[in-house]
Amino acid sequence: MSPILGLNSPTASANAARHVAIIMDGNGRWAKSRGLPRTLGHQAGVNALKRTVEAAPELGIQWLTVFGFSTENWRRPVSEVSELMALLKRYVASDLDRLEAEGVRIRVIGRRDDLAPDILAVIERAEARTRFNERFNLQVAFNYGGRADIACAARAYARAAIAGEVSPDAADEAGFERFLSTAAGPPPDLIIRTSGERRLSNFLLWEAAYAELVFQDVLWPDYGPEHLKAAMDEFLARERRYGGADVDDVRAAG
């Protein structure tokens, strides 16, 4: 684990964000600023992901969801898309043994029906080999879009209603979200976006309802444990009300 933080899981705050989601943004700008091709920016981004996954448990994080490839990323040049697919395969090939041994469970959310067979095989192998791990959950949003996931859940709910498995009249939020690809885990407490951009970009739209948002002005390939800790410190300084009023404010108004 990273020595930068000076932390370990037992001493992490009880109020820490248990589920952190990250929009890993800035690979292309990082490469451009150095006169490098975008593909090298993506490669450097994989190293940042490795550092972040290693540091997360020390901060009390139990679930980490990262935005790896969106449904809109298919619009990028073919060469760049091919490199992103190759990076996924290299990441799994180089780190799967270690992640499995360290108790990390890998889940991949997003559409799979239009993925190439070799990419699908990599995803299924990673999930199968780590399915019994419980120490830490790494969830990768790959070929994922928040709107598409909600639409897919709506279709699945409709099919279940037609089959008589659920009642349309009894539909509620808890019942619906069982059909989302993220149903296996808790909603994110904290969503981080790097590179200084301040938007969700179609990421975890349903799940983000009460998440705290932190935007950090650092390009993703430069991201490390110190940045993750800074985001967690900001999270801990906030008061989460879930739509309710502050008790002191209510008393003062009364």
Residues belonging to the active site: 25, 73
Cα separations in angstroms, 140 against 88, 137, 170: 10, 10, 32
> Given CA atoms 211, 216, 221, 223 in this order, what sign does their dihedral have?
negative
The conformation of residue 196, written as its DSSP 8-state character, comes to T
Q: Do the strands 190-193 and 136-144 form a parallel or antiparallel pair, or are they unpaired?
A: unpaired
Query: Across the chain, which distance is largest between two alpha carbons, in Å?
Result: 63
DSSP E strand stretches across the chain: 19-23, 63-70, 104-109, 136-144, 190-193, 212-215
